Amino acid sequence: MKKSELLEKIKNEVVALEDSGLYRNRVVSGSFPVIGEGNHDAEVMFVGEAPGAQEAATGRPFCGRSGKILDECLGKIGFERKDAYITNIVKDRPPKNRDPLPEEIDIYRPFLDRQIEIIEPKIIVPLGRFSTEYILIKFDLGSELKPITALHGKVLKAKTSYGDIKIIPIFHPAVAIHNPRKREALQEGFKALKNNL
């Protein structure tokens, strides 16, 4: 099967994921799951935590205020969003944008795992602490786990079924919404990404 067909299969499975409590919230609110978008042959994959209100309203990842900051950071390193693949661990919005629960991460993580295997990125950029924790544990780097403030912009090497990759944890772009003084620190993480492209 082609990559597009495999990713479409994931989309259809998430759309029908009635076992998830977040599915019920999605149906009641009339929102959409957020599967992911971008280049199916991307060398860089960004992995967020879960969709926010704007994302659930449109079905697109990082299209709200955090997305504008992400685009701005990418622009400053001369990288275009269309060249990456962008997704989240959890594909449905947690109510009131609360943090995803462990059981929610568990039910959605197989979809992310399959997206990684299909796209085969050379660099995975987890955005925020939940994504960073999940990605590091998934790739047997649990011993490297530290607070996101200590891991931000660090380059870690990992092995996958398709070859060696780099993992570069970066603050979630929302950090600059809640604390504008963090914008410069956020950009430093993206400079680390630029240096490894």
Q: Find the radius of gyration of the CA atoms of the chain.
A: 16
Q: What pTM value is reported for the model?
A: 0.96
The pLDDT tens digits of the residues spanning 138-156 come to: 999 999 999 999 999 999 9
Secondary structure of the chain: what % helix, strand, coil (to 5)? 50, 15, 35
d(CA 50, CA 100): 7
To the nearest 10 degrees (0 to 180), the angle between helices 183-194 and 65-76 is 50
The pLDDT tens digits of the residues spanning 98-120 come to: 999 999 999 999 999 999 999 99
The CATH number of the structural domain formed by 3-194 is 3.40.470.10
d(CA 48, CA 58): 16
pLDDT at 181 over 90: no
d(CA 164, CA 85): 18
Strand partners, 87: 47
Q: Where are the domains of the chain?
A: 3-194
